[in-house]
Each structure stands twice: as C-alpha cells, then as structure tokens.
Amino acid sequence: MTESKFNEFVEIVKRLRLECPWDREQTNDSIKAATIEEAYEVVDAIDNNDFVELKKELGDLLLHVVFHSVIAEGENKFTLDEVIESIKEKLIRRHPHVFGEVVVENANDVKKNWEAIKLNEGRNSVLDGVPQMMPSLYRAYRLQEKASKVGFDWEKKEDVWKKVIEEIEEMHYSEKEETKKELESEIGDVFFALTNYARFLGINPENALRLTNEKFIKRFQYVEKKINESGRQINQSNLAEMDMYWNESKTKL
C-alpha cells in the first residue's frame, strides 16, 4: 500500500467517525469484541488457504487498528502516528541483530534475545505480556514457551510424556476421591501437561484443537445429512445408526 492510499483510508475512517451516527457512538471498549472476531476471521481464511478472503479480512483488521487509533485521538489519548512510531521503535529495538551489532545463529537465539530485551524494558516477569483474555489453551502454550526461553524447561520429550501420564492418573484418582473444585484443578493440570508435550512436538495446541473442532463439525453434519435424507431428524435416530454414518464420514471427509 502506498503512503497516499493509506492516508486516504485514514481520512475515510476519520470522516465516518465525524459523520456516521453509529461510528460516532463507538468506543475502544464497544468494538473490542469485534476486533477479536476480525482476528479470528483472519485465522479462518489462513486455515482455509483462501487468499481472496484473507485479503478482505486483513482489510477489516486494518480498519480496527485505524478506528481504535482515531477514537483514542479524539479523546486526546494518542494518535495513529504515535502508534506507528511506537511499533517502529519496538521493531528496531528488539532486532539488534538486524539494526545493530548483535550476532545470532538461528531463530531460537532471536527469541531468547527478544525476552531479554523485554525484561530490560522494565517488565517484572518473563511471563508478563501474555494476555489474560487469550484462549486458555494457547495461553498455556505461550507461558510455557516464555519460561523455556530462559531455561525453565524439560530436557527430554520422554520426561514430558511421563508427566502427562502422571497428571492423567492423578485426575482419574481425583474423580473418585476429591471435590469438584479439586478435580477441576487436576483436569487443568492434564491440559497443561499435554500442551507442554505438544510444544515439544512443535505443535501449537490451539491450532490442533481448532482443526479437530472443524473436523468434528464436518463429520457430525455428515451424520445429520444422511439421517435427514431418510426423512428423519437426528433426534429420531439412535447411537448405532449415528456411529455407522460417523465411521462412513471418516472415509469421505
């Protein structure tokens, strides 16, 4: 995008903020949920390898970046120029191997330097900066990843798997002996340990579960479709029939 096109886009957003009744009413808080939704729609387009849709969704996400900035500027909080200047300075500061004299050998060195630089910027903990509103599975992954960058990690994948089994056994024991709250904690430990194992395999667990959710939806909808073709609703079926169509869906989807 040329500078003139970007400036033209910003002027359109500013005009909407001034002249559109709906846009005038919005706040950073009122559109935050929509901002999250737009980010997820970008991810959907990437998962579907749909670059036509990705182009559109990135435009929607860009709109939110500009709109949030225009709203803040109207309240004398900060300007869009300050947003751009801030991220420009951060990129330069956190890439001394590109803009400075630091030498790195690989991407892992870059990640370690990144965390060290953030601590020098005034953060109190390596774990700072992982949003509380992030999906819990992905948040667990990011917390583990950040701790790993400073050496707090398992040495062998096999030990991580032993921890998964240990947590599953503790959960199963808790099912019989402990309260619901204690069981909830044990189930959380299982998810956390399994997330850690996924990280050792180089798998993002949030992506993995999202793909599995989509696979479940497609296969279950196949079951619904086959039953509907017989003139019935799925609640008029039985488990044996649904299992038959479910297994059939595995060969087709």
Q: What residues does each domain of the chain span?
A: 3-92, 136-203, 207-250
Least confident of 22-26, 75-79, 148-152, 166-170: 148-152
Q: How many residues does the chain have?
A: 253
DSSP letters for 111-151: HHHHHHHHHHTT-S-TTTT--TTS-HHHHHHHHHHHHHTTT
* Span 1-55, pLDDT tens digits: 577 899 999 999 999 999 999 999 999 999 999 999 999 999 999 988 999 999 9
pLDDT over 60 (residue 92): yes
**How confident is the model at residue 118, as a pLDDT?**
79
Structure confidence at residue 123 (pLDDT): 80
CATH 1.10.287.1080 fits 3-92, yes or no: yes
* pLDDT band with cut points at 50, 70 and 90 for residue 116: confident
Torsions phi, psi for 231 (to 5 deg): 85, 15
Q: Check the CA dihedral 157-163-164-166 and report its sign.
A: positive
The beta-strand segments (E) located in the chain are none
Report the pLDDT value the prediction gives residue 113, as an integer from 0 to 100. Answer: 83
Mean pLDDT of the region 195-222 = 94
Cα dist from 109 to 96, 114, 117, 127, 204, whole Å: 12, 9, 12, 18, 20
Q: Of the CATH numbers 3.40.50.300, 1.10.10.10, 1.10.287.1080, 3.40.50.2300, which one belongs to the domain with range 136-203? A: 1.10.287.1080
* Lowest model confidence (mean pLDDT) among 26-35, 43-52, 95-104, 106-115: 106-115
Give the C-alpha distances (Å, rounded to integers) separating 132 from 55, 128, 136, 193. Answer: 29, 10, 8, 19
Q: Rounded mean pLDDT of the chain?
A: 92
pLDDT value, residue 163? 97
Average pLDDT over residues 153-181: 90
Tell me the pLDDT tens digit for each residue of 117-160.
Answer: 877 887 888 888 888 888 899 999 999 998 998 889 999 999 99
- Residue 81 Cα to chain centre, angstroms: 27
Task: Check residue 52 and give its pLDDT.
Answer: 97
- pLDDT recorded at residue 1: 53
State phi, psi for 75 to the nearest 5 degrees.
-100, 10
Say which residue, 111 or 143, is predicted with more confidence.
Answer: 143
The whole-angstrom separation of Cα 43 and Cα 133 is 17
Q: For residues 226 and 219, give the distance between their C-alpha atoms in angstroms, rounded to a whole number.
A: 11
Residue type, 153: D
Separation of alpha carbons 186 and 171, rounded Å:
5
